Structure 1
Amino acid sequence: MLVLAAASSLVLAACAGGGGGSASGGDVTSVKIGFMGDLTGESSAIVIPPRNGAKMAFDEYNAKNPKVKIEMLPYDSQGKPDQATSLITKAVGQDKIVGLIGPAFSGESKAIGGVLEENKIPSISPSATNPGLASNGWTYWHRVVANDNDQGPGIAEFLITAKSPKKAFVISDDQEYSVGLAEAVTKTFKDKGVTVENDKFSKDASDYSSTVTKVAAANPDVIVYGGYYAQAGRLLKQLRDGGVKATFASGDGSLDAQLVTGAGTQAAEGAVLACPCNIPSGDVTGTLKTFADNYKKSASADPAIYATEGYDAATAFIKAVEAGNTTSEKINEYLKTVNFEGVSKPIKFKSNGEPENNSIFVYQVKDGVLKLLGPSAEAKLEG
């Protein structure tokens, strides 16, 4: 995969001429910003909300009839790194994007980050949380969410406070995001004196009986799975069918109603989900309420996971263009200084592309519905 990415980098560098996008000279009337992520695959429910949020931001901006309009081009990677590698070749070499929102997931972000860096295309992910993404020396990469080195401890420390566990069982599949989150959770448990056992399975597996047997034998007080809702729902159902009753927790990749659908309402009840995202609920006020109302009109759906982050990522690009920056390099320079009150959180980037704000929020399945309990340091488990 890395060989493919490197080869693509050389091809794209020649195609893009180092300027990145169509805005290289002359009077610019429009620029293209890509959006990449799983739009039709099994984890698309995590990506469609930020896509909708980004689209809403660009639609609002374009409705003001600005001097330079922004066209958003969707790239459906289905969350697959090899597909993302192929798509970025088209996005940069043929479509001439000057920026990218995404990729949505960590594996695809790792696969094409070098290509974006080589071609000087700034990216802002609304949802990729693997900590290692910030350690590549990339200067065109950014994200608006806390990473798993924040999320992992947030999950573990919340469970320690809520359940005082002596033994924990941490599970992952073989996806980049899943492995990173599980490692962060495991480290925090061990640092806090909790005994931990681990297991790992293929993301394409459907029978988790081996893992269930190991968990049952370990008899842990809490179980944490680092992964996405498609696998989490099946895993949770099989754990409960196998007689395992320990508190089940997961991260942002599992924060979707399809976790409940996959596990079944009874099996999912009480499951704990953490996320570096604040999903607007029915009782919000102010900016969040305005966003929620507008999102519902725009997307014909209530805001869901990372909808606000998608909107904020798009807003960062909008502010860059409003300030007169229409080439990828100038947009990237502007992103180094961007500082505004976003819908999800204050938006400002560190020198390595990480967000300054790293809050983690906790949710729990209650009566088949995901309920926000609050920030991880303050939230109280129900039941």
Structure 2
Amino acid sequence: MGRKRTVVAAAAMLAGALVLAACGGATSGGSSSGGQTLKIGFMGDLTGENSGIVIPPRNGAKLAIDEYNATNPAVKLQLVEYDSQGSADQAVPLIQQAINTDKIVGLVGPAFSGESKAVGPILEQGKIPSVSASATNPGLAQNGWKYWHRVVANDNDQGPAIADFLIRAKAPTKAFVISDDQEYSVGLADAAFKEFQSKGVAVERDQFAQAASDYSSTVAKVKAAAPNVIVYGGYYAQAGRLLKQLRDSGVTATFASGDGSLDPQLIAGAGAPAAEGAVLACPCNIPFGATEGALKQFTDKYKAAYNTNPAIYSTEGYDAATLFVDAVKAGNTTPDAINSYISGATLDGVSKKISFKPNGEPNVNAIFIYEVKNGALNLLGQSTEAKLG
């Protein structure tokens, strides 16, 4: 996921220079003497319009750290939260504070791709390891960063998986792909569009501004095209409004979107009748109805801690934080040592088995399909095997 807000290049360069100047102070930790507490940051939208996507991985990360601290280890961990509201502009000064003032030794996040792009160079220059549970823009892996990791597949996997699933499930002759103008939204939509083209499905494309609320122009284009399937790249706040306006105009084509829309607020925004049958893809494993094994155990622990069921990226947030926990358990207390451990780690995570390629990408790129049925989200399975209900 990612929200794009322009960050002035000069400001980012200055922020990076400030980090380098303070780099000697950013490596808190060092020894594993008794009573030591290391700070792990969590960055993402915790109060903004898309916070429903970020609070679950925050909760998962906090659960992992709370469980570790409950064992009364010699080196404890403190999760420090940075509410960027998904804005790259807000993320930059927050990461400066995290590194220079709070002295974090690692970061779970950032949650979205736009803010990840903005703070990535600063984390890299500060030599602070990060593990995102949800940022999916493909370009993040192409920067040569050595301190950056993510535990989910990127949009070059997710976009084609959505298109391929719809082709297999609905055999469409025509598709329509829509996005707003946020970085994540455009990347996901472009990937789906190209996959439809490569598979010989006639496809059209449209885009609207993220701040817009009236999508009548796009709706008119969709009606004129008369597609069998529609793919929207974006977040649930916009997806719910778009889906409602499409259904109100009489468009009945199957509506699909990606991880940014995988939240019950999509159903609330569109209205249950309009949302029924919507298809959502995600490189996340939400343990809906888990009855055994690690997913059932995680569900029970999560519900006991937060009085609600796990949601999008809950398991991934838990796994991302567990990587830091395991690094510290192994005696690593400086950012460099923690980064080296994580980069070479293999974790039998709750979400999946996790290990990393040299560019920080995960080695396992599973995409899962969900469907709105009877007013609720339901897991159908991995995209290569799932079937519509």
Q: What TM bracket, shorter-length normalisation?
A: over 0.9
2-side partners of 1:207 and 1:12: how far apart?
42
Indicate the residue corresponding to 1:52 in structure 2. Answer: 59
Query: 3-state DSSP class of the match of 2:107?
Result: strand
Kept after mapping to 1: 8 A contact 2:41/2:107: yes
Contact 2:244 2:269 in 1 (8 A): yes
Task: Check the 8 A contact 1:104/1:125 in 2, yes or no.
Answer: yes
Structure 1 residue ranges without an equivalent (≥5): none
Would you say 1:375 and 2:382 are equivalent positions? yes
Report the Cα distance in structure 1 between the residues aligned to 2:103 and 2:313, rounded to whole angstroms.
26
The one-letter amino acid of 1:117's match is: E
Q: Matched residues in 1 for 2:157 and 2:67: separation?
A: 33
- Shift in Å, 1:282: 2.2
105, 108, 114: which is aligned to 1:98?
105
Alignment of 1:257-268 (within 5 A): 257-268=264-275
1:284-317 CA distances to partner (integer Å, 9 max, x unpaired)? Answer: 3111111000000111110000000000000000
Q: Please state if 1:341 is matched with 2:341.
A: no
Q: Tell me the equivalent position of 2:70.
A: 63
Q: Note if contact 2:45-2:85 (Cα within 8 Å) is conserved in structure 1.
A: yes
Q: Which of 175, 180, 186 lines up with 1:173 in the alignment?
A: 180
- Residue 21 of structure 1 corresponds to which residue in structure 2? 27
Q: Distance in 2 between matches of 1:315 and 1:213?
A: 48
Q: Please list, as runs of the form range in 1=range in 2, the aligned pairs for 1:231-380 lying within 5 A after superposition.
A: 231-380=238-387
On the 8 A contact 2:276/2:372 being kept in 1, the answer is: yes
How many Å separate the matches in 2 of 1:20 and 1:145? 27
Distance 1:294 1:3 in 2: 45
Are 1:116 and 2:116 matched, yes or no?
A: no
Does the CA-based 8 Å contact 1:20-1:327 persist in structure 2? no
Runs ≥4 residues deviating over 6 A: none
CA distance in 1, matches of 2:172, 2:323: 42
Cα distance in 1, alignment partners of residues 32 and 47 from structure 2: 37
Report the CA distance between 1:283 and its aligned residue. 3.7
Bigger shift: 108-117 or 278-287?
278-287
1:79 alignment partner, one of 81, 86, 94: 86
CA displacement, residues 317-350 of structure 1 (integer Å, 9 cap, x when unaligned): 0111111111111111111211120000001111
- TM-score, structure 1 normalization: 0.98
> Does the CA contact (< 8 Å) of 1:21 and 1:95 recur in 2?
no
Q: Is residue 32–residue 74 contact of structure 2 (8 Å, CA) maintained in 1?
A: no
Q: Matched residues in 2 for 1:24 and 1:13: separation?
A: 19
TM-score, normalising length: structure 2: 0.96
Q: Is the 8 A contact 1:22 1:31 kept in 2?
A: yes
**Secondary structure of residue in 2 paired with 1:36:** strand
8 A Cα contact 2:278 2:372, kept in partner: yes
**Aligned residues between the structures:** 381
Q: 1:142 aligns with which of 123, 143, 149?
A: 149
The residue aligned with 1:214 is 221
In structure 2, stretches of 5+ residues that fail to align are 1-6
Q: CA deviation at 1:4?
A: 1.9
Q: Distance in 1 between matches of 2:353 and 2:66?
A: 22
Give the letter for the 1:137 counterpart: G
Where 1:363 maps in the other structure, the secondary structure is strand
